[in-house]
Structure 1
Amino acid sequence: MPGMAEAPKSQMPARRKARKRALDVLFEADLRDLPVEEVLRAYLRRLEQPRPEHLGYAIGLVEGVDAHLDRIDELIASYAEGWTIDRMPVVDRNLARIAVYELLYVDEIDDAVAITEAVELARQMSTDDSPRFLNGMLARIAEFTTH
């Protein structure tokens, strides 16, 4: 409405941008079979100044996924019914990795938010089947990891 003060920006858009940046780095490393740290360093060198505020969260996601990749991929492989991790689209595989990292290791992110964000990015960037697939798999992982 005219004359009303603009509502403060929520964390959601910044975190979504951070997840998108993390996805860019993880996707490139996965697709090109390069070390994540190398791709992250190159990505950071290409960024213009001033760097976005959400960059710290994006770097934390990339480094966290990389540090815990074996455990994350083990869970994805266990709960991805009908799919091997290698057969998943690269976007889906890396969105799942980010979400599973948040489910397991980022306490300030609610499970539902981690899942919703992965599903929303899949809706924007992957196949028509990806949102439903990720939602089901991540919900099963969340249920497993909270019990």
Structure 2
Amino acid sequence: MRARTKARKRALDILFESEARGDAPGAVLAQRRETDDAPPVSDYAALIVEGVTAHLTRIDQLITEHAEGDWTIDRMPAVDRTLLRIGVFELLWVDEIDDPVAITEAVELARTLSTDDSPRYVNGVLGQISDIAEHLRATL
């Protein structure tokens, strides 16, 4: 598994745990960085956690606007919701990641970690946001 793929998975774990426990993502991140028995938290994983946290309101707004059907943020499986947040963050705020790479990585994690329908759903939502990403980046 490539370093950035591992970092995305680690960020997903931290953000998912944070939401499930009701703890601040920054607190979970700090706890994971201090724990010797846990897998290490790379700088890129930390960047994702901090970036998703900093831009959460805008990220969730975009996901809501582009979600298919009746799938609100709250109705989505937690893994899908978190993967979409990571994907949107990478699409809009991480310049060194190409849009197709961000989408593919999110889809692959959905394929491994979520429902059978999740890869298609994640691809569809992130694809729509990617289509307007250049415009969105200009307004950030």
Change beyond 3 A, Cα 1:46–1:120: same
Match of 1:65 in 2: 52
Match of 1:74 in 2: 61
Matches within 5 A, 1:34-49: 34-48=23-37
Please, what TM-score do these two structures have when normalized by structure 2?
Answer: 0.90
User: Alignment partner of 1:101: what SS?
Assistant: helix
The reply on whether 1:121 has 2:109 as its aligned counterpart is yes
Q: Distance in 1 between matches of 2:77 and 2:28?
A: 20
Runs (4+) of structure 1 exceeding 2 A deviation are none
Please state which structure has a larger fraction of its residues in helix: 2
Unmatched 5+ stretches in structure 1 = 1-11
Q: C-alpha displacement at 1:47, in angstroms?
A: 3.9
Match of 1:22 in 2: 11
The reply on whether 1:111 has 2:99 as its aligned counterpart is yes
Q: C-alpha displacement at 1:48, in angstroms?
A: 4.8
Q: C-alpha displacement at 1:27, in angstroms?
A: 0.3
CA RMSD of aligned residues (A): 1.6
Instruction: Provide Cα deviations, 1:39-91, integer angstroms capped at 9, x if missing partner.
Output: 11111122459x85x70000000000000000001000110112000000000
**Aligned residues, how many?**
134
Radius of gyration: which is bigger? 1
Aligned-residue sequence identity (percent) comes to 60
Q: Distance in 2 between matches of 1:94 and 1:38?
A: 17
Q: C-alpha displacement at 1:17, in angstroms?
A: 0.0
Match of 2:74 in 1: 86
Instruction: Provide Cα deviations, 1:16-54, integer angstroms capped at 9, x if missing partner.
Output: 0000000000001111221111111111122459x85x7
Unmatched 5+ stretches in structure 2 = 136-140
Between 31-40 and 59-68, report the one with greater CA deviation.
Answer: 31-40
Q: Distance in 2 between matches of 1:125 and 1:42?
A: 23
